[in-house]
A and B are shown apart, each in its own frame.
Chain A
């Protein structure tokens, strides 16, 4: 019988059925970080349990690390305490830790792929909702809570119920200046922020076939913003090429068998989906959010919605959004003044993002009214960017070049908005208060749109600022 990748991976990792009807699912790869793991280790100690497969858990620090201090102890004692706690926990339980002084630390969803830990046909869990990022490789990757982090540490399994699968097909060529970020923002706008509840999203179609692994990661990353706990792209030659030679990739003698195995997990032709939705790539334009959920989005050249055009439920959220954002319904968003520009995050902090923007940034200057920061998602990305001289291009243009981490995506470190500053951000969430100030305002967009906003000091169509 023809099966989806989701079904095949699920079956291969099913341990047994639990008394409550859920599946005890083997989690092959567990990723942890400093924010959602300390309580889990605490529970483990309270219960007197060990880590069952320490070699299948990998740790790094990302949320809390300051991006403007390179030496420890950090001036933030809580950050220091949280990092020390993870150092101790990983040491006590024999877990590999990509620490700050190794040149390999970074956002957990970047470290997995960079190290070749993220592989097709595997199950991955992490106490972070953006874990679906790893689905770009054809893995089934779940964001989990802290008690579930404990479950994986103690048993290498989770109690889960199978998801339905919605195939989201995007076909055709994106126009110049339109990126993977615009694709996922558009998908969420159309399907809604809760449209994915109960589903895994399978992203497919010729647009995804043409995407690099990094572009696929950008899309899979934001699956949860559409309500889908996991999202994936079927593995292909590009996937295998990306993994080859990475530290944790299968070695030469095992390589061919691994590739054959990985390829066998791809969804079969003629398999049944619970739902299929299709998009035409040519119709997608640069997309920006205007509200307080990632689904409140428009094309840059559209007006923000008039309240009377929305249904009653959406209208209440929209009214709240307009009030918070200090924006007016039925007006253009283009031209809105911007205070801060943030280029980074597990959505758009990869080397391809930094390269793409740098290509257009040469010879341009950040507006004097804008604070612009660029935060490579990982140390390996930062090292590569410096090697290519990208840091100089950003600094020359007036960006602050920072160390690796989550930074202003969620502002658990000192990178925060102040008061009601408005931030043009390449990150994934525009929730109220998300960027560290309760009155702060976030507009999500692609990295090149962030650069255009930095240069003009306002929300801008990047296609009018750069020759794309």
Chain B
């Protein structure tokens, strides 16, 4: 399986503030009533974007900037700390990716969300607290400036600004080498898998 090498993602950026934004908020459970991921993009952050009265609420995802990212199918979401906590639903990164976000930059990411995103080829880069605050402020003040998320060199740049970034080494390796979906490597290990299985009593039926 040949996959694109994700060495850097460049695009307009949208700041979605707040810590501990859970995956129920990113994609409410009623949108999990489906057997495919199709069409999830339009429901990303649905209950944050639309009030109980059905009217739009002020939310970054309702902005012209978000619409530009959706049209380009390319863009960077700048988030806070512990983004994507809670449920393991892959529907969460799937909905943001299908909306148009192709990279995340934040303070920290919940582990399952992180894995679900990078396995889609969507990098999640972490900035220090101060750098994140500066990046967030820059993005708000300069919506027309594209953000470059450089996975290869671990740096996020916007215009003349740049911030040192980090990501788990294994995720970086997978992204820049076009091996972000591990299935090919896992399948290749099949003979070794059978060998391990044979050593486990509960697997061989004891």
- Residue positions of A touching B, CB distance < 8 A: 12-16, 18-22, 24, 26, 28-29, 35-36, 38-39, 42, 47, 49, 52-53, 56, 63-64, 78-79, 81-82, 85, 119, 122, 127-129, 131, 143-148, 150-151, 154-159, 161, 193-194, 197-198, 224-225, 227, 229, 250, 254, 257-258, 261, 293, 313, 316-317, 320, 410-412, 419, 429, 431-434, 436-439
CB distance from B17 to the nearest CB of A (A): 8
Cβ of B10 under 8 Å from chain A: no
Cβ of B192 under 8 Å from chain A: yes
CB of B20 within 8 A of CB of A293, answer yes
CB distance from A123 to the nearest CB of B (A): 9
CB of A82 within 8 A of CB of B33, answer yes
- For B70-90 the 0/1 string (1 means CB < 8 A from A) is 000000000001100111111
Interfacial chain A residues near B32, Cβ < 8 Å: 35, 63, 412
Interfacial chain A residues near B34, Cβ < 8 Å: 78
CB distance from B41 to the nearest CB of A (A): 15
Interfacial chain A residues near B52, Cβ < 8 Å: 419, 437-439
Interfacial chain B residues near A313, Cβ < 8 Å: 19, 81
CB of A20 within 8 A of CB of B179, answer yes
Knowing A39-B35, A194-B85, A257-B201, say if A410 contacts B29 (CB, 8 Å): yes
CB of A36 within 8 A of CB of B206, answer no
- B169, closest chain A residue (CB): A21
CB of A24 within 8 A of CB of B201, answer no
CB of B112 within 8 A of CB of A143, answer yes
CB of A431 within 8 A of CB of B86, answer yes
Interfacial chain B residues near A225, Cβ < 8 Å: 86
Q: Find B183's partner among A28, A150, A434 (CB 8 Å cutoff).
A: A150
CB distance from A365 to the nearest CB of B (A): 32
C-alpha gap A439/B47 in the complex (Å): 9
C-alpha gap A434/B88 in the complex (Å): 14
CB of A197 within 8 A of CB of B183, answer no
Interfacial chain A residues near B47, Cβ < 8 Å: 432-433, 438
Q: Find A81's partner among B35, B85, B111 (CB 8 Å cutoff).
A: B35
Q: Find B199's partner among A12, A52, A154 (CB 8 Å cutoff).
A: A12
CB distance from A27 to the nearest CB of B (A): 10
Cβ of B55 under 8 Å from chain A: no
Interfacial chain B residues near A19, Cβ < 8 Å: 173, 177, 179, 185
CB distance from B33 to the nearest CB of A (A): 5
Cβ of B174 under 8 Å from chain A: yes
CB of A147 within 8 A of CB of B200, answer no
CB of A28 within 8 A of CB of B88, answer no
CB of A24 within 8 A of CB of B189, answer yes
C-alpha gap A182/B30 in the complex (Å): 29
Knowing A21-B169, A433-B47, say if A26 contacts B25 (CB, 8 Å): no
C-alpha gap A260/B192 in the complex (Å): 26
C-alpha gap A198/B82 in the complex (Å): 12
A and B contact pairs by CB, cutoff 8 A, 6 listed: A15-B189, A147-B181, A194-B108, A317-B19, A410-B87, A412-B33
Q: Count B-side interface residues using an 8 Å CB cutoff.
A: 63
C-alpha gap A159/B119 in the complex (Å): 10
Interfacial chain A residues near B190, Cβ < 8 Å: 52, 155
Cβ of B193 under 8 Å from chain A: yes
CB of A15 within 8 A of CB of B193, answer yes
Interfacial chain A residues near B196, Cβ < 8 Å: 13-15, 26
C-alpha gap A55/B111 in the complex (Å): 29
CB of A159 within 8 A of CB of B182, answer yes
CB of A431 within 8 A of CB of B183, answer no
Interfacial chain A residues near B179, Cβ < 8 Å: 19-20
- For B107-136 the 0/1 string (1 means CB < 8 A from A) is 010111001100110000000000000000
CB of A436 within 8 A of CB of B185, answer no
Q: Find A154's partner among B25, B108, B183 (CB 8 Å cutoff).
A: B183
Complex A-B, nearest 10 residue pairs according to Cβ-Cβ distance, in ascending order: A145-B116, A145-B90, A38-B35, A159-B182, A20-B173, A438-B47, A194-B82, A129-B88, A146-B90, A143-B88
Interfacial chain B residues near A129, Cβ < 8 Å: 86-88, 112
Cβ of B18 under 8 Å from chain A: yes
- A122, closest chain B residue (CB): B202
Cβ of B63 under 8 Å from chain A: no
CB of B206 within 8 A of CB of A258, answer yes
C-alpha gap A148/B86 in the complex (Å): 17
CB of B25 within 8 A of CB of A197, answer no
CB distance from B172 to the nearest CB of A (A): 8
Q: Find A429's partner among B82, B86, B116 (CB 8 Å cutoff).
A: B86
- A79, closest chain B residue (CB): B33
Interfacial chain A residues near B90, Cβ < 8 Å: 36, 39, 127, 145-147
CB of A193 within 8 A of CB of B20, answer yes
C-alpha gap A197/B85 in the complex (Å): 10
C-alpha gap A314/B170 in the complex (Å): 31
- B171, closest chain A residue (CB): A20
Interfacial chain B residues near A148, Cβ < 8 Å: 115-116, 119
CB distance from B84 to the nearest CB of A (A): 11
CB of A316 within 8 A of CB of B35, answer no
- B117, closest chain A residue (CB): A145
C-alpha gap A29/B201 in the complex (Å): 12
Interfacial chain B residues near A47, Cβ < 8 Å: 1, 183
CB distance from B40 to the nearest CB of A (A): 10
Interfacial chain A residues near B200, Cβ < 8 Å: 12-13, 26, 28, 122
Cβ of B36 under 8 Å from chain A: yes
CB of B81 within 8 A of CB of A38, answer no
CB of A16 within 8 A of CB of B20, answer no
Cβ of B187 under 8 Å from chain A: yes
Given A20-B173, A434-B24, 17 additional A-B pairs, CB 8 A: A12-B199, A19-B185, A21-B169, A26-B203, A64-B33, A127-B88, A129-B87, A145-B90, A156-B193, A156-B197, A157-B186, A197-B108, A250-B202, A257-B201, A432-B24, A432-B25, A433-B25
